[in-house]
Structure 1
Amino acid sequence: MASAIFIKKLREEATCSICLELMTEPVSINCGHSYCHLCIVGFTGNQSADTSSPGTFHCPQCRKPFQSGSLRPNKQLRGMIQTFKEMNQSMCNEHGEQLHLFCENDGQLLCWCCERSPQHKGHFTATVEDACPGYREKLQKAVTKLKFTESIYMQLKLDTTQKISSWEKKIKHEEERIHSEFTNLHTFLHQEEEFYMHRLEKEKEQKLSRLQDNVAYLDNKLEELKNGILELDKKCQCSARNFLQGLSYQSRNTRGCFFGTAYCEQCL
């Protein structure tokens, strides 16, 4: 029980009076009181400094003045707090005694007072030294099993990664093949287009040439017809004597035309 009182007293000394928790990075001020570094800095930031002495504040516990720049780390207190934390882990919070027993039923560390309490009455307990090897062996087996499972998953991951790489290469090869085939197809279609366009152009030229020849021929025939029509109109304007005089048998052409021209219906 004396150890519990000692631990309680030690905790009180190591507790910051501002945050009421174990000090973190403890610093001391002029009066000797110590606080968490962040707590005392926050305290000075929220308080008004002494107007008669700039930068001077009052201790939260004893109200003695101190300078904001006089904070100094308390290394001894910091070491004591670290020791207290380590020691506190092996001490019973309820009874303040050493946790040297292990309850198999509850899986809990006990002190000799906890073992005799009604809560653990009839439970199987063993010293920490005796209980540890068995649980350590179980833990080691679990670790071995987990490592084996880990190796399986690592191999599966490796296989999957290789499949992904293989699949990406296959897809890239297929993309290149499709691109090459369509490039060749585009080239072929372009060549076919040029061939058919050339053939069509040649056919167009030949057809136009024949049609233009026909047009020229018809223009020539039309010119001949115009001349014949003018000649016949001119004969029609002649006097009866002159008109009939030109129809003598001597003036017949080789076709037997009485008009002496090749533009009558008989000659045409």
Structure 2
Amino acid sequence: MAAKYIFDSFTEEAVCPICLDFFTDPVILECGHNFCRSCITQSWDREGRNSCPECREEFTDRTLRVNRALARLSEKARTLSLNQTEKENKLHCEKHQEELKLFCETDKKLICVICRDGREHRDHRFMPIEEAVETYKDQVKSSFESLTKKKSEIEQMEQQQKEKISVVLEESHNLQSQITSQFAELHQIFTEKERRVLADIREEEEKIRNAMEKRLQEIQANLNSIQKELSTLQEQIDQKDNGIFLKVRGYTTVAK
């Protein structure tokens, strides 16, 4: 923890207050503050005056002196920062805070050199992480190649199945078209047949109707004749004059 505090304090001195990164071509102003040459130049161009961004002191001209000591310090800080970052990125043992450099083949886990000498891993088999990675990468590559081959086979099966489905769909479409066409023909035939049958029925209907209407007319004529006769007979029945009744009926003759 103390080492990190010292490292952070050291690197802070090598950071430009404008870009907040390690100094690049650091220069010192007359007031004693340091900046990257490009940072302070751009700041002055932006502000339109030659003033220090830290203390706001203004200068009559742009006098920039190279700070070689700070340049060397910044370069060292940059190198240390990269090393620190690389170190922090490495895996460490949670128990001993040592870098994990070994792979326990027995337990299939990463361990440090202190773990290796403990009772937990006694009589276990170890190998350097680099060798373990190489060994298991070969296994992974083998699995990858096997799976790639299997994928290729399945893709081929998929393509074949798609082709079969396409064939079935095409055959089904052709069959549907054929059935539709055949039923259209049958429909036309039955429609024509229906037209002829209906025409025959209407013709036969007209013949029968004409004959029946003729017979009806005969019946109605006979009925009218009877009705006239009935009317005549009714008039005779209703006649009050006996002579006229007998005369109308033809039962008497008039004397000459």
TM-score of the pair, normalised by structure 2: 0.54
- Distance in 2 separating the partners of 1:184 and 1:86: 86
* Structure 1 residues 61-116: Cα deviation after superposition (integer angstroms, max 9, x where no partner): xxxxxxxxxxxxxxx9xxx6996487343332322222222211112222211111
Please name the residue that 2:173 is paired with: 172
Please name the residue that 1:87 is paired with: 88
- Distance in 2 separating the partners of 1:244 and 1:82: 165
Please name the residue that 1:137 is paired with: 138
Aligned to 2:185, the other structure's residue is in SS state helix
> Once superposed, what is the RMSD of the aligned Cα atoms?
4.2
2:217 is aligned with 1:216: yes
- Distance in 2 separating the partners of 1:211 and 1:160: 73
Change beyond 3 A, Cα 1:231–1:124: closer
Give aligned pairs, total.
181
Aligned to 2:103, the other structure's residue is in SS state strand
Change beyond 3 A, Cα 1:82–1:127: closer
- Distance in 2 separating the partners of 1:146 and 1:108: 26
Please name the residue that 2:204 is paired with: 203
> Deviation of residue 125 (structure 1)?
0.9
Please name the residue that 1:150 is paired with: 151
Aligned to 2:110, the other structure's residue is in SS state strand
> Deviation of residue 218 (structure 1)?
3.4
Amino acid across the alignment from 1:196: V
- In structure 1, stretches of 5+ residues that fail to align are 14-31, 33-75, 246-268
Query: Where in structure 2 are the equivalents of 1:23-38 lying within 5 Å?
Result: none
- Distance in 2 separating the partners of 1:108 and 1:229: 132
Which of the two has greater helix per residue? 2
- Distance in 1 separating the partners of 2:84 and 2:207: 111
Amino acid across the alignment from 1:105: T
Aligned to 2:127, the other structure's residue is in SS state strand
- In structure 2, stretches of 5+ residues that fail to align are 9-19, 21-76, 237-243
Aligned sequence identity (%): 20
Amino acid across the alignment from 2:144: V
TM-score of the pair, normalised by structure 1: 0.52
8 Å CA contact 2:102–2:113 kept in 1: the answer is: yes
Please say which of residues 224-233 and 97-106 is displaced more in the overlay: 224-233
- Distance in 1 separating the partners of 2:170 and 2:211: 61
Change beyond 3 A, Cα 1:128–1:5: farther
- Distance in 1 separating the partners of 2:143 and 2:208: 95
Query: Where in structure 2 are the equivalents of 1:173-252 lying within 5 Å?
Result: 173-222=174-223, 237-239=245-247, 243=251
- Distance in 1 separating the partners of 2:179 and 2:160: 28
* Structure 1 residues 105-131: Cα deviation after superposition (integer angstroms, max 9, x where no partner): 112222211111111111111222333
Aligned to 2:172, the other structure's residue is in SS state helix
> Deviation of residue 138 (structure 1)?
1.8
- Distance in 1 separating the partners of 2:106 and 2:177: 68
> Deviation of residue 210 (structure 1)?
0.8
> Deviation of residue 153 (structure 1)?
1.3
